[in-house]
Every structure is written in structure tokens, then in C-alpha cells.
Structure 1
């Protein structure tokens, strides 16, 4: 089995960290041998909202024809959300198929690769408000099948796939759940320096990977009056890893550690991704005007209780429930340097007194588990297992243009 970037160091450290308490249960720091209970998928927030046009449907795109509007039926009941009806049917019928990299469908384990660990949940840092799996995609401009640089890209996207707070990763692909959020980065690259800042937009609120596969991942063919048939290429997966949203006294941070590709390459570096990194993350008050070049035709339908959180301010630290609405505008500000995540994973004084783990320890444990999961599946091709797509229909994870 090939060693990954951090696995050998962790294995060496792990040999000295297997101490158990007197009752035989793992200690708070024993992340890799924590007890597990029956797995459960994270429950999706169901915010009250109206059906909205997403950025893909409203924002102008150079040389891009008008996209077909996606047809969804919002739940009219309490806490309604935009959920693909086919996804709901799949959940009720117990459909749980995964696609292997060779294109063959296979039955996934009922709990996927996620297990709930009571000891993990107890030791969880209080300032990690959300953790999960991160995917980063790009899409070439219309008519460009093989981008040769950032200028050939239409946009960059990332997906946050939340996990339960006490979750640990085991072997296998991840089970689908209607909790994923899709974000668009019009400027194509993440902030690379502390002085860099950019706007990101919630393209889709809580949804399933199955819905993203059907409505977003694939390419489309169009016919125009002046140029004839034009083709929008499918997305290109460029990275997968783990993330955590953390809270400090006056700021919120999005920290990440990359698992796929095994070694960061030219493509990832050009897109502003490092082996690990973080951003200060804030959410914009939709009632306050923004720059003319960063306005959306329609803002998020925040309920009154969220609007009150702004207290008239233009920006506030982001909370996970803010991200559950389409067309939310978030600001990402670079922090830290290569191999450093700034203050994003700092431990609170209260947690230190209560002998809880530091956020960095939890992130390292989660990333280690993800590395092992990836090695036991299909290496860098594991991203296709997780997304239920075949590598025959999508480009492989690139490291060079």
C-alpha cells in the first residue's frame, strides 16, 4: 500500500497513543480506535424558502448559451426545501447504488463509510460548528474540452458535504444524503494570499449528490443561430479532502486538508489550493447594496430570524444554516501560507481546560481516515465512487494542464 503525504508520520505517532482509560474505553485523544455506533446520515436543515433561480441560470457567462431551467418542486410543508423528487423516491424505495470507476453499478453498504463515535463526539472541539468532505470542480469554457490554464475555465465550484459531528470515516464510498451545498467561484481561483479576497455564491442549497449528478455534473449540447452546435463540457473534479467550519471570537473560518490528488500539482496550485489551507468566511446582508460587478439578480430568501442576526451590518461571520439558501453571497479572505492555516484551527481556552481536542487534531484524524478510505478503494478515482459517476464519462483528476 503506498504511503500518502501524512500517513507514515501519523502511523509512527499512533503507536504511542493507544492508551485506554481504566474502564477500557478510548481516551479523548485516541482518534483512530474510537468506539463506533450504528452509522447515521447527517440530517439536513430544512429552511423555509421559495424556489429561486440559481446563479447558473441568472449570471451571464461568456460564450455560454442559455441553460435549461431546472424543475424542482419545493416542499410546501413545514420547513420546506428544494429537493429533487427523484431523490425522495430513491430514499423511500431504498435505492442505494454506487458506480465503480469501471462504470459498473454496485450495492453500497447501508451506512456508507460513516460511523458515529460517542467518544469522538464527546471530545469534539466546541468551536468546530461543522465538518465534512470537500470536493472542488472546474468546468471548461464552452467549446473547450481540455483546458490548458485558468483562462480556459468557465468557473470553479466546490461542494461541502457535511458529516455528523461525532462521525469517523471507515472503508467504502460515502452514502448520499440531502445535505450537500454547491458553491460557485466566478473568479475561478481561491484566494492565494492573505490580501486576496473573493466572492463565492451558494449555487444550490441542501441537495443530494444524485441531484447534482443529474443537474450539474454532466455536459450539455446546444444549438445557436450563429455558431451552430455548441457543447458545454462536463465538470472536472480537481480535488477532494476534508473541511471544518470553525468559530473564533469575532470570525468564522473554512479550513481544509486535501486528500485527492495524493500530491498537489500544477492545476491545484493555479486554482489556489494547497495541501492544507483556510479562509476567513463571512456572509453578506442581502438588504445592503454590494459592488455592481458582484450583484445577483435575486438574493437569498432569508427568513426574519436570520435577517435579525445581521443587526444592520453588511457582513457577519457565517453560520452553517446561512449556507442552506440559494444565492447566498459569501466572502472568502485568504489566511496562512503553505502548510499553515492561520488561526482557523486554534483551540479555545475553555476547551483546553476541559481536555477537549484541538480543532487541528480532529482535522488531522478525519483526513487520516479519509486517506485510508481512499487507499482501500480506488486511490484518486475514489472521487468517482463518492459521486456515483463513471470515470468513463468524466475527466480524471488532473495535476497538470
Structure 2
């Protein structure tokens, strides 16, 4: 079984027969499918002069402050996977559990970190051989409690690309990531992202794009604290972080300030995409005349959304800082909510497979065979 950091805590929660005693009670329900509303989207405005990130942001803090002021799996694999794992269930207590979740948590869910080697390099030996890193976000209901097994495919997966290869570590590290896929199913993720592929070129012949390599799995929360939005995460796998995770800039507990770019302004130099996000009018109106605003979960539901990732050296402390209104209403602290979700995820992942890679790929609706293993050291 994959060993997680919550294993020792979970051992204490096991009964004499060795089974895990679940916390809490309530009716069990499978996570319901959610389809994002499809709105008519406006045409993208023409680009003029490109600017650097420094031109548009004097600092990460100023960006957040300015922004706030205006405010199916194929049938063959389905049978293979479902024979060995059950879909996860959530325990929900409508009107009770929801009242406990702090309002500063805008979204919570499961996060996976992947990287892909450069063309022709299946097994990168260091960061320089990585083409790009990725985050995969799987949102859950805010009042959801994780049970055992894999998570129901709600078709709401987002694939986030990080062109810089590694993740920002401190406020000095500021670069732009973008949404490569949104409202995606497990089948699409497997076929269009996880798998390797070969393609023909006129000059170099057949080129090989390697499969995606898992680097970590855990839970996340998008939070709003005063004048900034954060993407905070707590890793479940691997149980002990190694060279690979350190080189990628991942921590046991980490967070980023996230600010969404207004597509009506020119993209910073070197970051422009072939086309911008097709936001509906109501989303465009959120920007007013601002170049950047604190990211909201629905911004990430649009392909080609670009958002600034700014490292936070304090871990998740700032991202999970309790807000006065939540404390007055007696709600849980954001950090406690994230740790609770991580504990539930740890027990869930331990039961999926006999290894970190097997657990991650099973959770993504496929078998680990043929895919790269999760590694903690470059070889």
C-alpha cells in the first residue's frame, strides 16, 4: 500500500481487527456530476503592445491589493479498474457541515502534480530535461467528506500548465500559468494528457512525446484572505518528499497567491497564447479596468485563462489565515478544514493500491502499467 504522512495518525484510529474506524456519521451519497454552465462568449480583443510581468505588476502584493479594490473511461479499462476499486462516497450533512466550512474557502478538492520530459526523454535525470510541469485539479463539494475508493468522475477536472517547469517558491518567483483543459473527464485526461504519443515531422522524422510522470498527490483549497486569493495544498503522496519534489518547488504544505489576467490587455512579453479565454460578459465585467484580479474558481473553468502564480514562503499560513467573520460565526479554521480533508484523502489513497503510482493512476481511472512511476529521486 502507498504510505502516507497520515499513516501513523490512522493507525491510532484502527480497531482491534485492523480496520479503520470512520469518523463522523451521516447519510452517504456519491459525488454528483456537475456541468459548468455554457455561456455565449465574446470575441477576443486585438493585442497591441506586449509588456513584461514587471510592467503590469510592481509587486505581487500590489497586484492582489489593486485587484480587490474594484472587485467515460473506455469500456475495457473501466472493467479492469472497477473490479479492483469502488467509487468514493461522500458523507454530507446538508445545513450542518456546510455551516462549518469557512467562507474564505472558495473551493476545495484533490490535486495532482505531474511533469513531462522533453521530446524523446521518457525518464528525465534532472529539471533541465523537463518540458513542463502541470497541476490537475478535481473540485469537490465544499461540504463533501471523502470515503473509501476512487472519486466519481464528475467531468469537472482542470489541467493547469506551468511553462516554467518548476513551481514558485517565494514572492520573488512570479510567473504565469494557464488552463490547458477545463470541464474534462477522466477519459479525456488519460487519452490527451497522461499517455505518450508519437508524431511525424518533415525534418526530424518521428518524434516521441513521453507520458506524464506523477510527482505528488494531495488536497487543495482556493481561499480568499482580505485582498488576495491563494491556492493552498497539503501533499498526501509521496509520504516522504525527495529530490524530485524539492527541485520542482513542492512542499509538504505550500501555497501560491493567484491573480487572473485580464485578457482585454496585452499579455506580458513571452507569455501570449495563440488565443485567449472566451469569457462571458459577466466575467469580463469583474475586471472593470484592472489588469489583474484575485482568482476565483470559475475563472479556471475557461481554457486559456492565464493567472499569475506567486510563491509564498510561509507555507499555508497566510492562505489559511482565519477571517474575523468566520470566527464570529464559530466556523472551522481554514487550516483545520484542509487538514481534515488531507486525513480523509490519506486513508482513501492507502486503500487503493500497493504503491504510490498505482494509487494515483487508479484514482484517475486507469491502470499504472505502462505509465512512469512516481519518483522521489532523479536517476
Instruction: Name the TM-score class by shorter chain.
Output: 0.7 to 0.9
Q: Does residue 97 in structure 1 map to residue 78 in structure 2?
A: yes
What 5-or-longer segments of structure 1 have no aligned partner? 15-30, 53-86
Structure 1 partner of 2:92: 116
Whole-angstrom CA distance in 1 between matches of 2:209 and 2:25: 46
Q: Please give the root-mean-square deviation of Cα atoms over the aligned residues, in Å.
A: 2.7
3-state SS of the aligned residue for 2:270?
Answer: helix
What 5-or-longer segments of structure 2 have no aligned partner? 15-21, 44-71
Q: How does 1:11-50 map to 2 (within 5 A)?
A: 32-48=23-39
Q: CA deviation at 1:277?
A: 0.4
Q: CA deviation at 1:34?
A: 4.3
Q: Is the Cα–Cα contact under 8 Å of residues 42 and 279 in structure 2 kept in the other structure?
A: no
Q: Is the Cα–Cα contact under 8 Å of residues 137 and 236 in structure 1 kept in the other structure?
A: yes
**CA, structure 1 residues 50+213, in 2 after alignment: closer, same or farther (shift >3 Å)?**
farther
Q: Which has the bigger relative contact order, CA under 8 A and spacing at least 6?
A: 2
Q: Which of 181, 187, 192 pairs up with 2:158?
A: 181
Q: Does residue 357 in structure 1 map to residue 299 in structure 2?
A: no
Q: Which of 253, 257, 262 pairs up with 2:234?
A: 257
Q: How does 1:2-401 map to 2 (within 5 A)?
A: 4-9=4-9, 32-48=23-39, 87=72, 97=78, 99-100=80-81, 106=83, 109=86, 111-118=87-94, 119-337=96-314, 340-378=315-353, 379-380=355-356, 381-401=358-378
Q: Is the Cα–Cα contact under 8 Å of residues 40 and 115 in structure 1 kept in the other structure?
A: no
Q: CA deviation at 1:262?
A: 1.4
Q: Is the Cα–Cα contact under 8 Å of residues 40 and 116 in structure 1 kept in the other structure?
A: no
Q: How many residues align?
A: 341
3-state SS of the aligned residue for 1:384?
Answer: helix
In the TM superposition, structure 1's runs of 4+ consecutive aligned residues that sit over 6 Å from their partners are 10-14
TM-score of the two chains, using structure 2 as the length reference: 0.83
TM-score of the two chains, using structure 1 as the length reference: 0.79
Q: Is the Cα–Cα contact under 8 Å of residues 96 and 107 in structure 1 kept in the other structure?
A: no
**CA, structure 1 residues 11+249, in 2 after alignment: closer, same or farther (shift >3 Å)?**
farther
More displaced 10-residue stretch of structure 1: 324-333 or 341-350: 341-350
Structure 2 partner of 1:77: none
Q: Is the Cα–Cα contact under 8 Å of residues 111 and 220 in structure 2 kept in the other structure?
A: yes
